[in-house]
């Protein structure tokens, strides 16, 4: 019998995030990816109260690298403790894939305390996803933002969406990033500035394409039953109640009804025992502004064809009905590939703990994070406090 879940198992015990850490996103020419990663890990350890010597397994998310085993090269600076360390490459979803692995290891009882971390120094300029000499390079299609733009054009055709709706995603993201000390771009833009910025791939303009960034992120996960004896403040722990990773699945449908994002979302909702209406705060993969609109629809948070209007009406602002990308998202925070997925969960923890300050969403109890990767990858995490 076919199973709904990609993962044919159930968690054996509850797992919580004990601490999270970030290295600010931006440009840091004097630092290596191991420096960015180490600083994020140290912050997560301090936040959790867990000592490095107590970490039993670690997963490091990255796409580019500076030599082999960047995860080991980071952690060996903090102590040669002999633990298994695995380097994870899953495109822009590498960080959340590292967290998925850390979660399931603890959930299935292989280890009690795990570290997920990631960092990146993304070079400037358009991001290609294939190797030199590949067919796509000769066809002019090896361009991530062109792929987003084509999806956006199709959406506009199907639902009559106005280009201003997509631009308003960027305006909101930068408004949130401007009040986030960790963000790459702490600058606000008007709708006109976004619409009139340099065109990259019609209808996407420059300020609708996430910046290429550097940064790091980390999370310490621990079995809940041992957390109270090990963490600094058990009351600040955030439970992972849904953790899903999916790749593209064949569809006979003419229109893409959410693809792997929808599949990962369904897995996560089923595992968590919650419905889209229960979600209070959301982080999604807005590498292009159109990504936010397609993701919230794929996840069932908004009916298909409706999200663009909600963006125009400000309903996904921090004070709106469905707050999305409250920390600035990829648009405003920036996008160091290996760190981004963990950064999203960092923001959910900050919100659910009530520690988001001026960005605080009122009465947030359940949060959802969705991270995408080239090659047809999607992850979804649902967390609760």
Nearer to another protein, 30 or 253 (CB): 253
Reduce the secondary structure of 68-123 to three states and give it as a string: CCHHHHHHCCCCCCCCCEEEECECECHHHHHHHHHHHHHHCCCCCEEEEEEEEECC
| Residue 273 φ/ψ region, left for φ over 0, alpha for ψ in the -120 to 50 degree band, beta for the rest | left
Nearer to another protein, 106 or 127 (CB): 127
Nearer to another protein, 81 or 247 (CB): 247
CB of 124 to another protein, least distance (A): 12
CB of 170 to another protein, least distance (A): 17
Nearer to another protein, 16 or 210 (CB): 210
Catalytic residue among 92, 209, 210, 237: 92
Which parts of this chain interact with another protein (CB under 8 A)?
A: 126, 128, 132-133, 135, 137-143, 145-146, 149-151, 153-154, 157, 198-204, 250, 252
Catalytic residue among 209, 335, 346, 349: 335
d(CA 217, CA 40): 5
Which DSSP symbol is given to 382? Answer: E
Nearer to another protein, 63 or 115 (CB): 63
CB of 166 to another protein, least distance (A): 13
Burial class (CB in 10 A: 0-12, 13-18, 19+), 100: buried
* CA 107-60-215 angle, 5° bins: 125
| Helix, strand and coil in the chain, % to nearest 5 | 40, 20, 40
CB of 139 to another protein, least distance (A): 5
Closest Cα to residue 88, out of 311, 315, 245? 245
Closest Cα to residue 369, out of 299, 305, 297? 299
d(CA 43, CA 81): 19
CB of 167 to another protein, least distance (A): 16
- Catalytic residue check, 335: yes
Catalytic residues: 92, 335
């Amino acid at each position: 019998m076919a199973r709904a879940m990609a993962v044919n198992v159930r968690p054996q015990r509850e797992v919580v995030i004990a601490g999270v850490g970030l290295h600010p996103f931006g440009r840091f020419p004097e630092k290596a990816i191991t420096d960015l990663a180490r600083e994020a890990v140290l912050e997560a350890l301090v936040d959790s109260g867990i000592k490095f010597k107590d970490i039993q397994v670690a997963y490091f998310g990255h796409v580019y690298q500076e030599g082999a085993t960047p995860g080991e090269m980071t952690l060996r600076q903090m102590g040669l403790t002999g633990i298994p360390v695995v380097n994870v490459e899953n495109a822009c979803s590498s960080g959340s894939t590292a967290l998925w692995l850390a979660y399931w290891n603890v959930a299935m009882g292989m280890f009690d305390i795990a570290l997920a971390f990631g960092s990146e120094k993304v070079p400037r300029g358009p991001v290609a996803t294939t190797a030199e000499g590949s067919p796509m390079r000769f066809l002019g299609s090896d361009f991530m933002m062109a792929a987003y733009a084509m999806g956006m054009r199709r959406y506009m055709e199907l639902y009559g969406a106005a280009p201003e709706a997509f631009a308003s995603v960027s305006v909101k993201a930068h408004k949130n990033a401007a009040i986030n000390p960790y963000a790459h771009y702490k600058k606000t833009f008007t709708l006109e500035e976004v619409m009139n910025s340099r065109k990259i791939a019609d209808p996407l303009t420059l300020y609708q394409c996430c910046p290429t960034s550097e940064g790091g992120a980390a999370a310490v996960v621990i079995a809940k039953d041992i957390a109270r004896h090990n963490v600094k403040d058990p009351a600040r722990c955030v439970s992972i109640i849904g953790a899903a990773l999916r790749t593209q699945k064949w569809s006979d449908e003419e229109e893409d009804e959410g693809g792997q994002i929808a599949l990962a979302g369904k897995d996560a909702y089923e595992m968590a025992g919650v419905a889209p209406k229960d979600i209070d705060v959301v982080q999604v993969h807005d590498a292009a502004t159109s990504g936010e609109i397609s993701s919230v629809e794929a996840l069932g948070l908004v009916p298909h064809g409706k999200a663009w209007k909600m963006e125009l009406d400000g309903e996904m602002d921090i004070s709106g009905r469905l707050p999305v990308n409250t920390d600035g998202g990829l648009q405003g925070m920036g996008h160091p590939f290996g760190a981004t997925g963990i950064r999203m969960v960092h923001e959910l923890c900050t919100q659910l703990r009530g520690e988001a300050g001026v960005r605080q969403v009122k009465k947030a109890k359940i949060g959802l994070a969705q991270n995408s990767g080239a090659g047809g990858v999607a992850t979804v995490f649902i967390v609760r406090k």
